[in-house]
Structure 1
Amino acid sequence: MQKIAKTDIGAVCGCLRMTTVAAFLGAALLVAATPEPAQAQFYPWGSWGNPGGWKPKPRRARRVPRYVEPSDDKPATALPKPTGPLVLVVSIGKQTVTVYDDNKVIAKSPISSGTSSNPTPTGIFSILEKNRTHYSNLYGGAPMPFMQRVTNSGVAMHAGDLPGYPASHGCIRLPYSFARSLFGITDIGARVIISDDDLTPAEFNSPRLIAPLPPDSLANNGSGPVPAAATGTPGEMLSLTATENTQKRRTRASAAAARVIERQRLATNIVEAENAKRAAEDQAKAAADAVQAGREMIRKERTEEGRLADLARKAARDADAAAARFTALTAKMAKVDAAAIDAAEFEKQSGEEVAEETKLLDAMDAAVVAKRVAATQVTKSKQAVADAGALEKARKVAVEDVKNADTVLASAKDTLVAADALEARKDSPVSIFISAKTGRLIAKLGFAQVLDVPVTIAEPGRPLGTHVLTATTFTEGEKALRWNSVSLRPSEGTQYSRRKKRRHDDETPVAAAGHDADAASALERIEIPKETAELLAELMKPGSSFIISDYGLSRETSARTEFVVEPWRSRPDSSESRYY
């Protein structure tokens, strides 16, 4: 066998390497020499990587968290159908919610309220909205099943996880099965009281409470004259029998009949207001036409004034010209020697002088007359301007009368609309709020305000406390109402009040009421005007409520809510709505 030297082997390997490199270089040059499509030459995504060009990827739809009820949640016993208005008491301290129906506990459940950094507000609220499947728009679309809103700013009761301690962003979490059962028995407007303590409604009665109007069968047991009715306000529809001025005791039926009569009167007021507006509009049109005629008269008189002024100036010029001619003639005749002319020539010159003198006198008379006529026309023009000014004033008065008539008509229509709205809500319970801070009584039907009047509070420097009185049922024979009472005593130890300095430094706190400030004592110190009490008597029924407080209304109170009372949040302006 022939042996190959190491040097030969190295040479062969070198040739192989050179051949391989040359092959790669040749392939690269071949590719580079091949013309690319225009797309590949100008766009980085063309040719090799993506021959079809760039295509946008479809945008993925946002995944909304899906509500899945926990499998380990024990099914709750169906809650009994309420016999009257419900009162829900949420205890932050005990982390429970208790449902009361006519002072009886019909349900109780653990909860999870807001953390110390996002505390659940305490105070007096009501259910504003219900939604079986609701999702938060602040917390990533988090599901809030069986949501029952209690504030416009987003606090609600809903199903959620209960770790055994406050863990929410401010909402009140309920067990899933209990949230479903509770959702089925509550109504919009149900009272919700949130407190650090576990409060219990107690049966309550006081002669100072406003009694409802009796049925017709009990009308003979009452007494008291009908007060004079206030007109022009929504409250007038609440006491329409007042116009009868009779000593007969009012009943629900008589009040309803009087409301029908009053509505007819309000409808008649609209017809009369429409007629008055039409008459005012006709008067305004006539006044406008008169003003236009007056302006036309001014134009006519001023045109005549200009024409006569031109004539007067022309007559004056003619008189001046006649005077100049007469002066020239007399000067010429003065230079003539009378002895040098014969009688015929003298007679001729004398005739010329007389003729020129006559022309001068006529021109002067014409100038005087033209000046006098022009002056008279100036007076007429001024009178036309004065008359037009008077007509313009009359037109403005007529226009103002139309505006006033339109205001009266709008007011009449608004009154009828308010009356109809009130009539439509007459079966709703009335909610009454009395504030020691403002000294006023406000009444709402549903969420619509129908009264706002001042009240007298004895010993104004002494706190009233905060109390919720709820009418549960009629007594036997519907002569009166049964009431319960819940008194709130906010303390500085609650989560919400501890954050007061940081969140509500601009608000002045109201001194907390002592334990002697009970609801009965508070009612004794409040003097409601008789007319207002008569108005409210027509609306009293089970579900009606009194809220008495040292505070004003919370910023949460609006046309979309019932009365909301919160410690440290008593400014009248509404808060910015945030929906969780």
Structure 2
Amino acid sequence: MHNFISRIVVRGSVAALLALTAVGGSHTSSAQGTDGEGAGTLGLSGPAVMAIVSIVDQRIAVYDAHGGVTQARVSSGRTEYETPVGVYSVLQKNRDHVSNLYEDARMPFMQRMTWSGVALHGGALPGYPASAGCVRLPNKFASEIFELTKLGTRIIVARRDVAPVAFSHSALPKPQLAAAEAVLTRTTFDPLADEQGKGSVFEPDLSNWPERQATLDSLRTVADEKAATAKAAAAPVEELKTTVKTRAAAVKKATGTKRTAERAKSRAEGRVTQAERRLAAAKQPATIKSREDALAKAQAGLDEAEAKLAEANAEVEAAEKAHAAAEQELAAAEAVFAEADAAAKEARRKTLPISVFVSLKEQRVYVRQGHEAVTDAPVTISNPETPIGTHVFTAVDFTPGGDDMRWTAVSIGPHVPGQDGYGKKAEPTPTDAVYAGAALDRIALPDDVSARISAALWPGSSIIVSDEEQSKETGESTDFVVLISGEPQGGI
């Protein structure tokens, strides 16, 4: 077992805290708009790394990788439709979303948090929780942060407002990025294939780290080549689908002709039978002769019907054989495409941030990348009978030199009854780095899992540690969704 977390080291804690909390600083702005429409000047100098929603304070704070933050008022879920406290990410973006649950309600600048219907979006802000589970934002603010978030941007919903702090630890994973063949394998989701064609996936900005940029470029080149191979493999699949459809129609047509021939033969057999009975009943030579002629004519008709049926049978057999051959060709082409497509998606995912979830309740560690499961394994957590809390550690950028990561920590505190009082103006409380580090001290990961994490550790990667298990909302095409027990979960 590899000692994943050993001892906490908080470097320059006061300066780091000020740089990353929502209090003061040249990058900080307040977007409190009195009517819920104004958003103020954004204090972000780059893409959003995370957003933290406070239920009690009815406020959202959006952070970038450099300590920049901007805030706005929100309206979260009302009683029985509460926005659940927990950890989410942006799963989908749509500028002009219309709800299919709530009478076609408009949800402009929608950023989906769960597939069951919880999202950030523009809307009315009465000053208290009023939504059906979503987090409403001032419309102008919603439009501005829509441009700064990506698929995969972390969203944390907390009871009270909490701010991330700079965080370092001697055993946090260090990047060991391979040039073209990263360790991670297996998954089926293409993170770029957003269902609505809206939004792009979170990708690290490595402009300050030329060596890391070269590594990422190498991976992207491989991904582009494999994507081109998959695209080329898709063309014959589409052509063969058309061929299969055409040949299926030919089988249907030939089968119809055969059925017509079968009915014609049946009628001809009936005429022969009737002619035979009439001939058998004839007594006079002239009648016999007449009915022999009728029988011969009926038999000729039967012979012709049988010939046409034989021809129809041959046509059906040929059509079915051609159809089966086309289906076999299609199956072979689809197999080639599936292999090429899987390789392309896997190569693409290697360029994306990784997510790790350590669950005290399940005593397991889970790894996801590109919104799909990669691996999971048992994990050793000391004193498992003692709660560990819920903490999110985010790799926001490389350190100078590009050989390590700069991390932040956010801890979601427990619900303290009697401290609700919606709309408080209190500043966010900085995360207690010692408390977060104490949780990490108890965890040890298997060596192979640690190696997988280090091999895919781009900026934007995160490690979630929690008492909780994965929510049922964690599934295909999601990052981890972790809901805090003891909190209302009406929105789910």
Range of TM-score over shorter length: 0.5 to 0.7
Q: Distance in 2 between matches of 1:111 and 1:149?
A: 16
Q: Does 1:564 align with 2:488?
A: no
Structure 2 letter corresponding to 1:99 = V
Q: Distance in 2 between matches of 1:421 and 1:475?
A: 29
Q: Does 1:234 align with 2:197?
A: no
Question: Which residue of structure 2 lines up, in the alignment, with residue 166 of structure 1?
Answer: 129
Q: Does 1:481 align with 2:405?
A: yes
Question: Which residue of structure 2 lines up, in the alignment, with residue 213 of structure 1?
Answer: 176
Q: Secondary structure at the match of 2:146?
A: helix
Unaligned runs of 5+ in 1: 1-69, 217-228, 236-250, 265-409, 497-514
Unaligned runs of 5+ in 2: 1-32, 188-211, 227-333, 421-431
Q: Distance in 2 between matches of 1:93 and 1:422?
A: 41
Q: Distance in 1 between matches of 2:388 and 2:65?
A: 25
CA apart distance, 1:110: 0.5
Q: Does 1:467 align with 2:419?
A: no
Change (3 A) 1:183 1:85: closer
Q: Secondary structure at the match of 2:141?
A: helix
Structure 2 letter corresponding to 1:234 = R
CA apart distance, 1:82: 4.8
Q: Secondary structure at the match of 2:437?
A: helix
Q: Distance in 2 between matches of 1:115 and 1:141?
A: 19
Change (3 A) 1:166 1:234: closer
Change (3 A) 1:494 1:544: farther
CA apart distance, 1:85: 5.0
Q: Secondary structure at the match of 1:97?
A: strand
CA contact (8 A) 2:109 2:143 kept: yes
CA contact (8 A) 1:435 1:550 kept: yes
Task: Pick the aligned partner of 1:157 from 109, 120, 134.
Answer: 120
Structure 1 letter corresponding to 2:186 = P
CA apart distance, 1:495: 11
CA apart distance, 1:414: 8.4
Q: Secondary structure at the match of 2:121?
A: strand
Structure 1 letter corresponding to 2:383 = E
Question: Which residue of structure 1 lines up, in the alignment, with residue 458 of structure 2?
Answer: 541
Deviation digits for residues 493-519 of structure 1, max 9, x if unmatched? Answer: 3999xxxxxxxxxxxxxxxxxx99822
CA contact (8 A) 2:165 2:433 kept: no
Q: Distance in 1 between matches of 2:404 and 2:398?
A: 6
Max radius of gyration: which structure? 1
Question: Which residue of structure 1 lines up, in the alignment, with residue 19 of structure 2?
Answer: none
Change (3 A) 1:411 1:82: farther
CA contact (8 A) 1:112 1:162 kept: yes
CA apart distance, 1:234: 3.4
Q: Distance in 1 between matches of 2:352 and 2:133?
A: 30
CA contact (8 A) 1:439 1:454 kept: yes
Question: Which residue of structure 1 lines up, in the alignment, with residue 369 of structure 2?
Answer: 445
Q: Distance in 2 between matches of 1:434 and 1:448?
A: 16
Change (3 A) 1:425 1:493: same
Q: Does 1:119 align with 2:36?
A: no
CA apart distance, 1:117: 2.6
Structure 2 letter corresponding to 1:191 = R
Q: Does 1:554 align with 2:474?
A: no
Question: Which residue of structure 2 lines up, in the alignment, with residue 97 of structure 1?
Answer: 60
Q: Distance in 1 between matches of 2:157 and 2:386?
A: 25
Task: Pick the aligned partner of 1:193 from 156, 159, 163.
Answer: 156
Q: Secondary structure at the match of 1:476?
A: coil
Q: Does 1:520 align with 2:437?
A: yes
Identical amino acids, percent of aligned pairs: 39
CA apart distance, 1:211: 0.2
CA contact (8 A) 2:381 2:442 kept: yes
Change (3 A) 1:79 1:85: closer
CA apart distance, 1:539: 0.3
Change (3 A) 1:551 1:215: closer
Task: Note the aligned Cα RMSD (angstroms).
Answer: 4.0
Change (3 A) 1:166 1:74: closer
Q: Secondary structure at the match of 2:448?
A: helix
CA apart distance, 1:446: 1.8
Structure 1 letter corresponding to 2:168 = N
Q: Distance in 2 between matches of 1:445 and 1:130?
A: 19
- Taking structure 2 as the reference length, the TM-score comes to 0.56
CA contact (8 A) 1:555 1:569 kept: no
Q: Does 1:107 align with 2:75?
A: no
Deviation digits for residues 387-436 of structure 1, max 9, x if unmatched? Answer: xxxxxxxxxxxxxxxxxxxxxxx999988865543221111000001111
CA apart distance, 1:99: 0.7
Deviation digits for residues 14-68 of structure 1, max 9, x if unmatched? Answer: xxxxxxxxxxxxxxxxxxxxxxxxxxxxxxxxxxxxxxxxxxxxxxxxxxxxxxx
Q: Distance in 2 between matches of 1:118 and 1:543?
A: 31
CA contact (8 A) 2:38 2:138 kept: no
Q: Does 1:144 align with 2:107?
A: yes
CA apart distance, 1:138: 2.5
Deviation digits for residues 455-482 of structure 1, max 9, x if unmatched? Answer: 2112222222110000011001101000
Paired residues in the alignment total: 312
Q: Map of 1:2-17 to 2, 5 A cutoff?
A: none
CA apart distance, 1:437: 1.2
Change (3 A) 1:206 1:524: same
Q: Map of 1:320-335 to 2, 5 A cutoff?
A: none
Task: Pick the aligned partner of 1:422 from 338, 346, 349.
Answer: 346
| Larger RCO (alpha carbons 8 Å, 6+ apart) | 2
Change (3 A) 1:138 1:200: same
Structure 2 letter corresponding to 1:531 = D
CA apart distance, 1:543: 0.4
Change (3 A) 1:73 1:141: same
- Taking structure 1 as the reference length, the TM-score comes to 0.48
Structure 2 letter corresponding to 1:454 = P
Structure 2 letter corresponding to 1:485 = A
Change (3 A) 1:569 1:445: farther
Question: Which residue of structure 1 lines up, in the alignment, with residue 91 of structure 2?
Answer: 128
Deviation digits for residues 357-391 of structure 1, max 9, x if unmatched? Answer: xxxxxxxxxxxxxxxxxxxxxxxxxxxxxxxxxxx
CA apart distance, 1:104: 2.2
CA apart distance, 1:139: 2.1
Q: Distance in 1 between matches of 2:479 and 2:418?
A: 24
Question: Which residue of structure 1 lines up, in the alignment, with residue 380 of structure 2?
Answer: 456
CA apart distance, 1:171: 1.2
Structure 1 letter corresponding to 2:92 = E
CA apart distance, 1:74: 5.3
CA contact (8 A) 2:46 2:148 kept: no
